[in-house]
Structure formats: structure tokens, C-alpha cells
Chains A and B, each alone.
Chain A
Amino acid sequence: MGKQIMIDPITRIEGHAKISLHLDDSGVVDEARMHVTQFRGFEKFCEGRPFYEMPSLMARTCGICPVSHLVAAAKACDDLYSVQIPEAAVMLRRMINLAQIMQSHALSFFYLSSPDLVFGMDADPAMRNLFGVHAQDPQLMRDGIRLRQIGQQIIELLGGKRIHPSWVVPGGVNAPLTEEHRDTILAVLPEAKALAQRTLRWYKKIMKQFKPEIDTFANFPSLYLGLVDKLGNLEHYDGNFRMMDAAGNIIIDQFDTLRYAEIIEEAVEPWSYMKFPYYKSLGYPRGMYRTGPLARLNIIDACGTPMADDELEEFRGGSTKPVQSSFHYHWARLIEILFAVERIEDILTTKRVMTKHVRAYATPNSFDGIGVTEAPRGSLIHHFKIDEQGLVTWANLIIATAHNNLAMNRGILQAAKTFVDGNHLKEGMLNRVEAVIRAFDPCLSCSTHAAGQMPFHVELVAPDGELLDEVKRGV
């Protein structure tokens, strides 16, 4: 019987999970699993609630990406109404969603992953953290803080508050944009663009030091899924599904998101509270696909904004095949920040966004409503069924992070097989396994206000219970 290494909890991610590495008798990694250990139950406890509560209720799923849940649930309510919401409302919702992508990507890159990038995977954990980056590269951290601050500020100016705004409602938004807020947002965008570009330059310079990680951090063929607009360009609010295979062939295009259940199925494993979505036609687990920034940049024809398109060209390196390494989620995230700033500027410089008509009023005209949007971490699907009283009778949420569950699990196995020597553990080996998960930036709930220490303690235990080796930090 082989040994098992537990990494519990995984640090610098949003939510709670652990990794188990299963070794064979010679100490070689044989299997790896990411166990999501928290249970939320939103699909169950929204049953019996009025449908119009769904946007604000679902936003509570998360403290990092509440806007995505707000928008997806509101779109599902629009579908229940069977209405087309005013154009200005679409623009405003699109903008708040982009602002959230901006701040969430900044949090992931600067607060959670930059310590690995600044110090390297083997650095002393006492230094390899947020405060270490402050001391080592204050410019980088100032840029990160400022980018996140700008994203949050835009959310607050539009939605009234930074976390859990209630501005997005079924049928549109509950207030039009004021000229004062428009001008305030426009004034900070040039700075945001400059900060995103400076960080991109920095990343492209330092990534050369991470070739072993680029080669082995979930670097394998898979499918890629995301939304595209009618032209096949980058889309975060509306649009239709596109799926690409590992060779770069588009196998599904302009697929109506309301028909998501025809292409996506969810599997369940007894060792995790997170489901395992897969592409139905290929079955489980062959139907593994990736979503989120890397997938979005892989599937599109173009971003549709000039600076982001220049970066996209460099990102693809002239290849027509998708970028396979999940290490480059980091790169894709930075390009999307730049895109978000450019797109917000585009929206704010049109007159139509200032239209006062921003909400459609209706009562339910359908018992089934689906809302799909692109959250920072990938495609987000909210699906509700209601009864004649408008009470929710059934809900299905396919959260962005879950789409990547199969790929994350295979990714940690790939990295563990490459880096982990089960006979002699080193902290840096295990940090690489964690860093694979960080590259995906999973949002396992984030709405908890966790207090206190997040210790890290890995034990290598022999089949007879003898402690062979251990690594501790913060214990």
C-alpha cells in the first residue's frame, strides 16, 4: 500500500481546499486530487424563494466575484420575464462585469500569485508572500493595489458599493449613469491602462525564468470553452458559446447559451464538494475542458480593442494552436485587465450609455430562466425554474471554477509527478503543486470572512503509521 501526502489547506487561493498526493511503494507520485472541502448549498436553499431575490441572493455566493453572480442571475430573471432589456442597461451591466474582472484578476495576480513570480517557487515562505513582495518590489505591489482599487472604484460608482451591490436587477439596472460618475471613471482609465501595460512588460520579462513550470503546470491538450460575440471576438457579458479542441479546431460555434445542457454534463466524485463538468459528446472524463482567461484568449478571433489585440498577437506567438500551459493563465489575466480598461473606455465614450431608460418591467412569462456570463474564472451559468407564484422550485449553478475542476486535478498530477520526490519532501516541491491551482485562480467561495492563521503542515506517513518526513509553515 502506498503513502499519501496531504497539502491542507491550499494557501493563497480563494476558498478552502486540500490536495492529496498518492505515492506508490517507491515514493513516486501515482495520483493527485484536489478536494474542495467546503459546502455551500446555494442551489438548495434558494428553493422556495421568490425569483426576483435571486440576483442579490446569488451575489452572496462570493465576496470576490459577486458581480458575476449578480449579472448571471439577473440575466436568468430577464429570461423568466422573456424581455429584451434596454441597450443602456446592457452597456452598464457589461461595464460593471468588466470592472469586476479587472479587480479580481488584479487580486489573483498581485496578491496571490506574485510572491511565487517575484521570489521563485523555492524561496523561503517567510518571504514568499504579499508582505515580502512589498519589501522586494514596492512598485509592483503599488501597481497591483492601484489596479484593484480602480476596479473596485468603478464597481462602487456604478453599483453603489464595492461588495454585493444591488444595482443590477431583473430587467436591467436600477439607476442610470450620471455624468459625474462617467467623468470620474474616464479620468482614472489612462492610469489603469499604463499600470496594466507596465505589469505586462514585467511579466513577459520574468516568465522566462519559469520554463520548467510553464512546461508542466497543467500543460496538456484539452478543450477550451467560452463566450464569443457575433464576430467571434472576446465577450464577457453576452454572446454565444464557442468550443475549441486542442489542435485549434472550432468544434462548436455560436451555440446558444440557453442550450448549455445539451453540451455540458456534470459528474460527481465522492472526494470533493465541487462537481466535474465535462463536454457531453466526449463523456467523462475525456470531455475535460478549460475556461477562464486562457481559454477565452484561445478561442477568440480577436479581442476587439487595439492594445489587447497587440498583446494577444504576442501571447499566441504566431501559432494557430491554443496556448496549452495553464501557467499562462497569469499572462492571459493581465491581457484581460488591459482589455477591460479599453472596453470600459469605449462604452463610456458613447452617448447611448447615458440614456435614462435602463430597466424593463414585466412579470414572468416563462417558468424556466437561464443566464450565462463570463466571470473572471470562466463561463458562469445560472438556471432557475419557478412555479406560478414565482417561487424558485429548482436551481442549477455551474460556477466558472468548476469547469476547470478536471483540468486542475490533472494539472496537479502533472506537476507532482515532475517535481515531488516522495522520499524526501521539500516545501518548494509542494508549493509548485499549489501554484498550479493558483494559476487557475479558483474561487471556491471566498465569501467567508476567515480569521486567524492559515497553517500549512504536510506529513509523509508510512503505511504502518510511522512519520517519515514533514514540512511545516505557520504552525
Chain B
Amino acid sequence: MARTVVIGYGNPLRGDDAAGVAVAQALQERLNDRPDVTVEAAFQLLPEHAALIAEADRVLFVDAALDGSPGEVRSTVVMPVTPPGSPLTHTLSPGQILGMCQQLFGKCPHATLWTLTGWEFEHQEGMSERIQQAMLGWVEQIVEDLLHPPAQAS
């Protein structure tokens, strides 16, 4: 059985940055009966995520975006970054996680990054109403992608 991992990430104390986490929480409820799908909510990407995705066939990274027009949805195929990049950082990108997975486990899954550009990223708990509205459609697109992946990802 093909295995898919979804990692929704962001900081719930930075307004719309919480969107990735909110999507993960929504998917955890909707896909509760799907043993082939693992959904993870996280503040940020960590080295442990490389181990989490190592046995998967596909991974979806879900994140709020700063760039682009507010409300804009994008899905991009992500390639592993090898070597995984600068060590002088506190952050890891999806490409770096894939690169770490490749380097440590000798394989990495097909990966897609889903982003939704947010409106407000100030220090605050709770997302803007606009992104909450936009998220309704975004979640459906991600679920559709999960259930009917494109040919190159399946």
C-alpha cells in the first residue's frame, strides 16, 4: 500500500502562519480512517521529519506563504537539495528535508509543497478571517491531491 505523509507546519502565534498547522489538524480528523496517510502538525521542519518521510512514497508539505498575492494557492514539486545546504541556520526547507532523507536513508519520496499566501503575520494567536475563508477551498484541493495524485506522484 502506498504511503503518504502530510506535514503541515507554521507558528500558531504568528497569525496566518498557523495555516499549515490548521490544515494538518483538519486532515487528521478527515483522514482518521486512512492507515495509508500520516498527518503531522509541526511548528517547523526538523531533522526528525527526514526519518518520518523515509518510508513514504509521497509527501505533501503544507505551509503558509509570505510571498505572492494574499489568498494565492500554489502547489510545487519539490526536489531534494543535496548537500542539504547551509549549516548556519535555524530553519530547514522542504528541499533540505528531502536532501537529508536522501543522504541518510538512501531514498526520498515524491514531494509537493502546497502554499497559501497569508494576510497577517504579526505576533498574534488566531488567523485572519480572510485566510480562514480561503483555507476552506485550499483544504479541498489538498484532499483532492491526496486522493487522486497526479500520475508522476502515484
**Which residues in window 1-50 of A have CB below 8 A to B?**
11
Interface residue from B11, B87, B105 paired with A130 (Cβ < 8 Å): B87
Q: Is B48 an interface residue (CB 8 A)?
A: yes
Contact partners of B87 in chain A: CB under 8 A: 129-132
> By the criterion CB–CB under 8 Å, are A451 and B90 in contact?
yes
A145-B83 contact in complex given A134-B104, A449-B90, A455-B88, C-beta closer than 8 Å:
no
Number of interface residues of B (CB under 8 A): 21
Q: Is B100 an interface residue (CB 8 A)?
A: yes
Distance A451 CA – B104 CA, assembled complex (angstroms): 24
Contact partners of A454 in chain B: CB under 8 A: 88-90
Interface residue from A11, A135, A452 paired with B103 (Cβ < 8 Å): A135
The chain A residue with its CB closest to the CB of B11 is: A449
**Which residues in window 108-153 of B have CB below 8 A to A?**
none
The chain A residue with its CB closest to the CB of B48 is: A149
Interface residue from A63, A452, A456 paired with B89 (Cβ < 8 Å): A452
Min CB gap B40→A, angstroms? 10
Number of interface residues of A (CB under 8 A): 28
A142-B90 contact in complex given A131-B84, A131-B85, A134-B84, C-beta closer than 8 Å:
no
Distance A474 CA – B86 CA, assembled complex (angstroms): 9
Distance A63 CA – B85 CA, assembled complex (angstroms): 24
> By the criterion CB–CB under 8 Å, are A149 and B89 in contact?
no
A111-B47 contact in complex given A134-B104, A135-B83, C-beta closer than 8 Å:
yes
A449-B44 contact in complex given A135-B83, A138-B103, A142-B51, C-beta closer than 8 Å:
yes
Distance A129 CA – B47 CA, assembled complex (angstroms): 13
Distance A225 CA – B43 CA, assembled complex (angstroms): 35
Q: Is B31 an interface residue (CB 8 A)?
A: no
Q: Is A450 an interface residue (CB 8 A)?
A: yes
Distance A132 CA – B89 CA, assembled complex (angstroms): 14
> By the criterion CB–CB under 8 Å, are B90 and A130 in contact?
no
> By the criterion CB–CB under 8 Å, are B90 and A131 in contact?
no
Min CB gap B50→A, angstroms? 7
Q: Is A356 an interface residue (CB 8 A)?
A: no
> By the criterion CB–CB under 8 Å, are B43 and A453 in contact?
no
**Which residues in window 415-467 of A have CB below 8 A to B?**
449-456
> By the criterion CB–CB under 8 Å, are B51 and A149 in contact?
yes
Q: Is A148 an interface residue (CB 8 A)?
A: yes
Contact partners of B50 in chain A: CB under 8 A: 145
Contact partners of B104 in chain A: CB under 8 A: 134, 138, 141-142, 145
Q: Is A152 an interface residue (CB 8 A)?
A: yes
The chain B residue with its CB closest to the CB of A452 is: B89
Contact partners of A111 in chain B: CB under 8 A: 47
Contact partners of A138 in chain B: CB under 8 A: 103-104
Distance A450 CA – B44 CA, assembled complex (angstroms): 11
Q: Is B52 an interface residue (CB 8 A)?
A: yes
> By the criterion CB–CB under 8 Å, are A134 and B90 in contact?
no
The chain B residue with its CB closest to the CB of A151 is: B48
Min CB gap A18→B, angstroms? 16
Distance A135 CA – B50 CA, assembled complex (angstroms): 14
8 of the cross-chain contacts (CB-CB < 8 Å) are A130-B47, A130-B87, A131-B85, A135-B103, A148-B47, A163-B43, A454-B89, A456-B88
The 10 closest A-B pairs by CB, nearest first: A129-B87, A474-B88, A450-B90, A149-B48, A134-B103, A145-B51, A138-B104, A454-B88, A131-B84, A145-B47
Chain B residues near A (Cβ < 8 Å): 11, 43-44, 47-48, 50-52, 83-91, 100, 103-105
